[in-house]
């Protein structure tokens, strides 16, 4: 549970003086002109939605101001802060506060000042998702406020002042809680003059109150670019995303449970990237770590899958002018990489080597400390000599072929944009725009598959049975289709079709598949659809559903 703080005011609908919104209520009376200002649940929902989307991602005590213009203007401040006693600036003991919430108040043990606490009213559930309690509201604005000053203890207690009855001149004691009063001597009802009333009830300034918020029961949403995604054997989904609007972080790495609630979230990683295509990419190794890498960064960041804490960084900046001579890998040379099943890393890299006057890329193996070796065991002394030379002649080591000419155990390639993925069964998948090569764990080619009818933006995912999957952006359609290829490559076709063809995919173009077979199809701006292994849809985000509605509407208009 975390605290979200909120402050707001708005002009009174009658006198336009600032009206402090110091409680989550439907009516607030202006202390200047006594006009009843009304606020609907839907209005509060619109007012609070940005806070619930972005403030949970802030650091403790981080906040931001906001202005909302419209039929009614608002000046707002919201942020992330656990509830505090405002008179001493000390944190509340929320365990004790929640235990005594039925009393409606929390007492500051240092000053004996009372603060309000109440369960979120049911009527506000739609406006305040995942909120359990509201703390620190103005007692006098709450529906159950009786007007008795003693319930407010010292924080809100008002002094009694004498007031002369205008009819009988009897002396009355008033506390300013009501504007009209009945004389105890002559029973005449009197109206407290403006000067006296305003002195006893000065215009209130906006004060902070808190929402006690369960961030672990909310589905994660993002309104920014998605850079990469990957799922592990347990079905945990990992995302690399730009920060949500309102955060100044460079990067977020988020781990989500299968129901899309947050398992952990990391920011302030000091992993800033700055070039197009250099956005942070993800992978998994066999050491229980999440790999975060970019060709903008010299080192690869390793985070614990369990809690997201940094384990270490491997690699180093290459100061040697001959990049081909380096022995510890500089990750700025990376074109793509994947975690290997033997605990090492399989990398496609450019190291400024040339053949026939043209630069080529290399397939390399990195050990857990980023030390470089050749793939397929070619550094093994036992594989040298005549038979090693013969293997070299047939493996393409002596030349740098183009992708479509790659043979068994490739070591070089002239094409730059090659994506690597390693299936759950240890198979290697090499993707270059419209061509896909599958190799077995020894580097022997299983099939060469040509992609037709569209293009692939993300990686290929291979399951434990040897099947391969990729999301293809269909030509001349605003939809994608999930293609499944059999282990031998002989059978392939749509596994989940696009909306325009009666399926359930729109512009989701990134793919992850958990060890339990759950299929995650994701895209920018919060788009996500989740499918069972048999292709039945189990969840679609609001953004995906809105996009689906627009595409269907557009299709019907074209047909008409």
Q: Using one digit for the tens of pLDDT, what is the confidence trace for 232-275?
A: 999 999 999 987 654 555 788 999 999 898 888 888 788 888 77
The residue extents of the domains of the chain are 2-158+202-213, 450-560
Tokens 């235990």 sit at which residue? 99
Per-residue tokens: 443: 């580097």
pLDDT less than 70: residues of the chain = 144-159, 176-179, 194-203, 244-249, 319-325, 380-398, 560
Q: What is the DSSP string of 22-78?
A: -SS-SEEE-TTT--EEE--HHHHHHHHHHHHHHGGGSPTTEEEEEEE-SSS-EEEEE
pLDDT at position 176 = 66
Question: In the structure, how many helices (H) and strands (E) does the chain have?
Answer: 6, 42
Tokens 């708005």 sit at which residue? 10
Q: Residue 277 burial by CB count (10 A; 0-12/13-18/19+): exposed, middle or buried?
A: exposed
pLDDT at position 159 = 65
Cα–Cα distance, 429 to 326 (Å, whole number):
27
Pairing of strands 237-241, 252-256: antiparallel
Q: Is 375 helix (H, G, I), strand (E, B) or coil?
A: helix
Contact 453, 434 (CB under 8 A): no
Contact 223, 525 (CB under 8 A): yes
Per-residue tokens: 35: 């006009």
Please write down the HEC assignment for all residues of 391-444: HHHHHCCCCCCCHHHCCCCCCEECCCCCEEEECCCCCEEEEECCEEEEECCCCC
pLDDT at position 246 = 45
pTM: 0.72
pLDDT at position 393 = 41
The distance of Cα 462 from the centroid of its chain, to the nearest Å, equals: 26
Q: Supply the DSSP symbol for 378.
A: T
Q: At a CB cut-off of 8 Å and minimum separation 6, what does 210 contact?
A: 3, 4, 5, 6, 81, 82, 83, 134, 135, 136
CATH 2.20.25 fits 450-560, yes or no: yes
């Amino acid at each position: 549970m975390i605290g979200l703080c909120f402050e707001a005011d708005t002009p009174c609908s009658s006198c336009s003086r600032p009206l402090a919104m110091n409680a989550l209520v439907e009516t607030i009376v202006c202390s200047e002109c006594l006009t009843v200002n009304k606020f609907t649940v839907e209005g509060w929902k619109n007012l609070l939605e940005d806070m619930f989307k972005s403030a949970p991602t802030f650091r403790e005590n981080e906040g931001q101001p906001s202005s909302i213009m419209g039929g009614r203007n608002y000046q707002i401040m919201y942020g992330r802060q656990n509830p505090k006693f405002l008179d001493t600036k000390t944190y509340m003991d929320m365990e004790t506060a929640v235990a005594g919430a039925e009393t409606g108040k929390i007492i500051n043990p240092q000053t004996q000042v009372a603060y309000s606490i109440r369960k979120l009213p049911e009527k506000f559930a739609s406006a305040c998702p995942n909120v359990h309690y509201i703390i620190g509201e103005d007692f006098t604005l709450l529906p159950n406020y009786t007007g008795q000053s003693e319930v407010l203890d010292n924080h809100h207690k008002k002094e009694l002042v004498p007031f002369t009855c205008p009819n009988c001149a009897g002396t009355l004691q008033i506390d300013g809680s009501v504007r009209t009063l009945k004389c105890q001597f002559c029973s005449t009802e009197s109206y407290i003059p403006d000067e006296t009333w305003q002195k006893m009830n000065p215009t209130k300034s906006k004060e902070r109150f808190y929402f006690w918020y369960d961030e672990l029961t909310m589905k994660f949403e993002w309104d920014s670019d998605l850079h990469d995604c990957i799922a592990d054997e347990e079905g945990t989904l990992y995302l690399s995303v730009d920060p949500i609007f309102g955060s100044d972080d460079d990067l977020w790495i988020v781990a989500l449970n299968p129901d899309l609630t947050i398992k952990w979230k990391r920011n302030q990683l000091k992993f800033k990237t700055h070039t197009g295509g250099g956005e942070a990419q993800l992978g998994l190794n066999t050491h229980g770590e999440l790999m975060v890498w970019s060709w903008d960064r010299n080192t690869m960041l390793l985070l614990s899958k369990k809690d997201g804490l940094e384990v270490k960084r491997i690699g180093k900046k290459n100061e040697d002018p001959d990049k081909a001579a380096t022995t510890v890998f500089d990750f700025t040379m990376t074109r793509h990489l994947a975690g290997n099943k033997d605990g090492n890393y399989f990398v496609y890299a450019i190291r400024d080597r040339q053949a026939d006057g043209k630069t080529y890329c290399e397939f390399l193996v990195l050990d857990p400390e980023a030390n470089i070796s050749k793939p397929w065991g070619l550094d093994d002394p036992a594989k040298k000599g005549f038979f090693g030379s013969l293997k070299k002649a047939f493996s393409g080591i002596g030349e740098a072929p183009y992708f479509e000419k790659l043979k068994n155990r490739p070591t070089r390639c002239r094409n730059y944009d090659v994506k690597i993925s390693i299936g759950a069964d240890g198979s290697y998948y090499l993707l270059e725009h419209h061509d896909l090569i599958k190799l077995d764990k020894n580097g022997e080619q299983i099939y060469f598959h040509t992609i037709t009818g569209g293009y692939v933006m993300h990686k290929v995912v291979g399951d434990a049975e040897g099947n391969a999957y990729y999301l293809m952006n269909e030509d001349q359609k605003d939809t994608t289709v999930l293609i499944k290829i059999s282990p031998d490559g002989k059978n392939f076709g749509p596994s989940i079709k696009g909306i325009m063809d009666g399926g359930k995919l729109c512009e989701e173009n990134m793919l992850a598949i958990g060890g339990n077979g759950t299929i995650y199809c994701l895209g920018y701006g919060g788009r996500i659809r989740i499918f069972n292994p048999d292709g039945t849809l189990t969840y679609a985000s609001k953004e995906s559903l809105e996009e689906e509605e627009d595409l269907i509407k557009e299709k019907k208009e074209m047909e008409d």
